[in-house]
Chains A and B, each alone.
Chain A
Amino acid sequence: MLKDYLLPESTTKVVSLLDNCNGQARIIAGGTDLLLDLPDGKVATECLIDISRIAELKEISLEDGIIKIGAAVTHNQVAKSDLIREKAPALASAAGSVGSYQIRNSGTVVGNVVNAQPAADTAVALVALGASADIVSSGGNITVPVEKMYAGVGKSIVDSTAQLVTCVKFPAALANEGSAFVRLEQRKALALPMLNVAVMVSLKEGKFEWVRICMAPVGPGPVRATAGEDILRGAKVSPELINEAAQAAVKQANPRSSALRGSKEYRTGVLPALVAKALESAVAGAMEINK
């Protein structure tokens, strides 16, 4: 039963509150997922610690080539940020796809990652961008790649009764890099993704220097298509090779049949087209910046 609701104004205070409450308190940011889980009994806590008014967590910043998104930054802030649209278009697009406009005004990108749903749009984009998260607790501070933050379906390695993720961070795209996010959905708003794909590419002299391909929901969390990435690395950019990589990507995907998301057969069939589309779009982005 919820007994208290606290509104601390610094991360230091949050950490000491978590410590004092000894597992009986839990972090709330936007709350758009948590507030559904509490009445359902999926999560129980005596105290919510609201981080949404901590100034240092409300910022999107760029310093020494690293973009940081604070834990209280909403999806709409990210989707509408000129910095993110220019330097991490995959993330801007993913953040703009989550829930509805109202949900995006409340829900946070970091919350999307910590909630750890298999197809969390921004987690998929962040993995493609090579992002990691800063996590603080009384036990010490750690930095973990977003890719390693999933402990299972809907399970994060982050214990929100003891730890606070302060930000996610990733390198801003260089002139020869591009990223893109593609989503298959039943309708254009308030629809869960049937499939989502994010990629980031680095080009050098007409060749792929490196590529990250991330797909979901085809496993417990965002899944890297490393076989597809290997095909592209060091190779000349061409539609044929992109298609070959897209076909290879499917071999690492394991979609389940779902009434909500479509059959395994359908989603397996359409996934290569999405991967190819994302790669083409990211390549176009990398070349555009070059101009």
Chain B
Amino acid sequence: MDNKILKFSLNGELKEVIVSPSDMLVDVLRDKLNLTGTKKGCGKGECGACTVIMNGEAVNSCLVPAMKAMDAEVETIEGIGSPERLHPLQETFMDLGAIQCGFCTPGMIMSSKALLDKNPNPGKKEVREAISGNICRCTGYVKIEEAVLAASGKYKTKR
């Protein structure tokens, strides 16, 4: 196995990490860079728990070979806010009870952030499309949709 050096921007910081050609991005993030906020659910692109933003687009990091991230800009849940200064989506997910067990939440938030970054004022239809690849098995989608819509209001004032 010929290891490679992957260089990419992760949450705004340049990173270099040794990867194998068969590594998936989700495993590099979690196991090599210790960013375990990104969850690995199905590993087959069906649940969306591993969603990260790569070059502005929401993707399933379990189906992205690590090498595809070469020179790319990757954002994960760890990079979008801090405990002192939460991202609007993190605030509204908590305020509106859009979290139950929390396993889907990082993916839900990253899919929603990719949407709001492009379209700060989406309608229900756009929100539903954006999170259509994210499965929640606890709370259902109503509160999540409400939280994303509420965050869109804060987006305009905060940005």
Contact = CB atoms under 8 A, between A and B. Distances in A.
Contacts of A177: none
Interface in A1-43: 1-5, 7, 28, 31-32, 35-36, 38
Interface string A32-62: 1001101000000001101010000000000
Given A1-B1, A105-B59, A99 B65 contact: no
A85 to B, nearest CB: 15
Interface residues of B, number: 29
B68 A32 contact: no
Contacts of B130: 101
A105 B57 contact: yes
B48 interface: yes
Interface residues of A, number: 27
Nearest to B70: A7
B132 A106 contact: no
Contact of A101 (B64, B70, B132): B132
A36 B64 CA distance: 11
Interface in A185-219: 188-190
Contact of A32 (B20, B63, B70, B134): B63
Given A31-B64, A103-B133, A189-B133, A2 B45 contact: no
B45 A99 contact: yes
Interface in B49-105: 51, 57-60, 63-65, 67-68, 70
B68 A31 contact: yes
A100 interface: yes
A102 interface: yes
B59 A102 contact: yes
A3 B2 contact: yes
**8 closest A-B pairs (Cβ-Cβ)?**
A100-B133, A189-B132, A5-B21, A5-B67, A105-B57, A2-B22, A102-B133, A102-B60
12 contacts: A2-B20, A2-B21, A3-B2, A5-B4, A5-B21, A7-B67, A31-B63, A47-B21, A50-B67, A52-B68, A103-B63, A190-B46
